[in-house]
Amino acid sequence: MGESTQRTSGGHQARRALLQFGLSGLVALIIIGAIAFVALRRESTHESIREARTITEFIARSIAEPLLQERPEVLTGDPEALAWFDERIRTRVIGDGRTIVRVKIWDQTGRIVYSDAAPLIGKRFVFGNDERAALQHDETEAEVSDLAGPENAFERSEGKLLEVYLRIESPAGDPLLFETYR
């Protein structure tokens, strides 16, 4: 009887050790999985921001600046020029609105000289530090948009947006801020 009790006790201890080993492995796997998930999510966010910057730079340099060269009176608020510019921005940049939902062009005083949300044209807002830096240092900036700002009233219904902005130049060489919302 004593030998049988020892075998049962030894078998019970072995099962308990295996269970502890299995649970430890499972906990380690969950921790490693969580760390990998966070790292992959962070990397995909950084990649999305890099892609948004690249696309916005391309649009600004290859579409917006050439269009402004062709019709500089957009910057003075000429209705016919604005309609012409708007039609081209909507077809070449915004399209179906699944990627880019808004385009704005600002002069250096904070006045919106073009937006596909027409009521914003001519309105003046105070630039934040990042916008001023982009205008002064020709840097492309990207950040999650503060939709509570008065200049973003027309974007609020879109949910969380990434805004990307950079300096472009008017036909006269004056700095402008080109901005997209994704």
pLDDT at 128: 85
Tell which residue, 75, 26, 58, has the closest CA to residue 175.
75
Angle at the Cα of 52 (from 48 to 55), degrees rounded to 5? 135
Look up the pTM and report it: 0.73
User: Element (H or E) spanning 22, and its range?
Assistant: helix 2-59
pLDDT per residue over 76-93, tens digit each?
999 999 999 999 999 999
- pLDDT level of residue 177 (50, 70, 90 thresholds): very high
% the chain with pLDDT above 70 = 81
> Is 69's pLDDT higher than 70?
yes
What is the layout of strands, in order, in the sheet containing 162-169?
Answer: 112-115, 102-107, 175-181, 162-169, 141-144
The SS3 call for residue 148 is coil
88 vs 85: CA distance, rounded Å: 5
Tell me: the pLDDT tens digits for 26-46?
A: 777 787 777 766 666 666 667
Rounded distance between C-alpha atoms, residue 1 and residue 172, angstroms: 102
Choose the weakest-confidence range: 8-12, 148-152, 174-178. 148-152
Q: pLDDT at residue 118 above 60? A: yes
- 3-state DSSP: the chain helix, strand, coil percent, rounded to 5? 60, 15, 25
